[in-house]
Every structure is written in structure tokens, then in C-alpha cells.
Amino acid sequence: MAEYKVFSDLHTHTYYSHGAGSPRDNVLAAIDRGLECIAISEHGPGHFTFGVRGKKLERLNFEIAELRREFADRIEVRNGLELNVTGFGRSDCPKNREDYGVVIIGYHKSVAPFNRHALGIWGESLLGIKNDPHRNAEGILAAAEACRADIISHPNLYLKVDVPYMAKCCRQLGILLEVNSARVTLSKQELIAIKEAGCGLIIGSDAHTPERVGDFALASKAVTEAGVWDAVRNARPV
């Protein structure tokens, strides 16, 4: 069986939110690990505790642009953002979405339910009254489509989603589903269903320390066990 190498890490955090290293530390770690591309994808402004917003977000983007220029001949550096679903079909997507090199979206805790629909999602699911994976999938899919997201992070984390349905929709929308290497949130059956739907996967470290940038061990193990490497868009046979 062919061996695969993951060549990019589009999901990393820094001390701008609740990570430990600087953007520069993450870029240097990615170069060290032989990656071709890295994104700094901080938590979006809608996250109460970790969200990066306002002047701080501007400073981060400026810093990433500097790093992009400095390391242009060694690695591609992208400015990313990991958005939060803030309601059914809604997110904290910034107005200048087009200025971002990669946009990720995921369900997170500590996000305000801003409208009636959000209360529906969070109330039903987090209070354990009713957990409807199909509705949860529809809520994030509508938000992902509205902000033209590239990736949905850690499906099933915090809120269970209907993965086969999500995969069908994501194939049509051109959105990739993440195999998160900090904790794998997709079962073997779900990984196979994603591949069978023709939807692409992407492996991300979700690193919160420079040491974990490019750490794809858990995701790689899950992808190997499910036999779905050919659906992973940031890996190629070596």
C-alpha cells in the first residue's frame, strides 16, 4: 500500500487566541516539518473567550502578511480564520472574507446564540433535550455556504451531525471535511461514507503549540484504517 505524505497544515492557532506560540513559531515549525503550506487560522470574533477581533485581528493579519513575504521562497503562508456558527445558517464571518486565504468553520462552545434559530440548536443539543444531527448539519452547512467556507472543522465535536448528508452537500459546495488530528471526530464508517459521496477530506493538526504544527499522527491512523487516503486533498503518495 502506498505511503502518503500530508503537505499542508491549514488549521493552527497561536497566542493571539489561546495557543502558546507566535505566528512565526508556527511557520518555522512547519518549515522544520517539511510542509509546503501553513495557515494561521485563529478563532473568529464570535468566540467569547478566544475570538480574535478588531485591532488585534488587523495586527495578526499584518504579521502574517510580513511572514508570507519573508518566507516566500521556503513555504506558502496563508491567513486563515476558524469561524464559529452563531446561529442556524449564521457565522461570525468578517465583511472582508475575500482577504482570507482559507476560511474554516466549526461548532464551538462559548458562542452566543444570537437568534431564535440558534437558541433552537444550542437549547436542543447542549441541554440534551433533543439532539438532531440532521438539523445540526443543516445549520452549519447553511452558515458555511453563506461565508463560502473552504473547510468544516472537526465534524461531530460539540454537536453531532449527520455526516453522510453533510458529505453530499459539501461535495456540491466544494467544502472539505476535516479529519482533525488533535482528536479524531469521524468514525471509520463516516470516513468511508464521505469518500463514497465524493467529498474531499483535509487533515489539520488544530495545533495550539508550535510543537504540534504538522502533527498528523491521529488523523493519519484513522485515514489508514478507513482506507480513504485518496480522498484526502492535502496528501499525496510518496
Identify which range of 59-67, 126-134, 150-158, 161-169 contacts Zn ion by CB under 5 A. Answer: 150-158
**CB of residue 72 vs Zn ion: minimum separation in angstroms?**
26
Query: Residue 47 has what DSSP assignment?
Result: B
Counting runs of H as helices and runs of E as strands, what totals does the chain give?
7, 10
Cα–Cα distance for residue pair 208/199, rounded to 1 Å: 27
Cα–Cα distance for residue pair 33/203, rounded to 1 Å: 15
- Check the CA dihedral 79-85-89-92 and report its sign: negative
Identify which range of 46-54, 78-86, 114-122, 126-134 contacts Zn ion by CB under 5 A. Answer: 78-86
**Residue 206 sits in the site that holds Zn ion (CB under 5 A):** yes
Q: How many CB atoms lie within 10 A of CB 82?
A: 30
Identify which range of 122-130, 190-198, 200-208, 229-237 contacts Zn ion by CB under 5 A. Answer: 200-208
Cα–Cα distance for residue pair 103/81, rounded to 1 Å: 5
Which CB sits closer to Zn ion, 153 or 220? 153
Which CB sits closer to Zn ion, 94 or 230? 94
Query: Taking the CA of residue 176 as centre, how many other CA atoms within 13 Å lie in the half-sphere pointing to its CB?
Result: 19
Alpha carbon dihedral 184, 185, 190, 196, in 10-degree steps, equals: -60
**CB of residue 206 vs Zn ion: minimum separation in angstroms?**
4
Q: What's the N-to-C CA distance of the chain in angstroms? A: 11
Q: Using DSSP, state whether 202 is helix, strand or coil.
A: strand
**CB of residue 1 vs Zn ion: minimum separation in angstroms?**
30
From residue 3 to residue 42, the character string flagging contacts with Zn ion as x (rule: CB under 5 A) and all else as - is ----------------------------------------
Which CB sits closer to Zn ion, 106 or 113? 106
- For the chain, how many residues are written? 238
**Residue 150 sits in the site that holds Zn ion (CB under 5 A):** no
For the chain, give the longest Cα–Cα distance: 53
**CB of residue 16 vs Zn ion: minimum separation in angstroms?**
12
**Residue 106 sits in the site that holds Zn ion (CB under 5 A):** yes
Could you tell me the three cell numbers for 52? 480574535
From residue 157 to residue 176, the character string flagging contacts with Zn ion as x (rule: CB under 5 A) and all else as - is --------------------
Which CB sits closer to Zn ion, 61 or 185? 185
Identify which range of 46-54, 98-106, 134-142, 169-177 contacts Zn ion by CB under 5 A. Answer: 98-106
- The residues that touch Zn ion, with contacts defined as CB under 5 A, are 82, 106, 153, 206
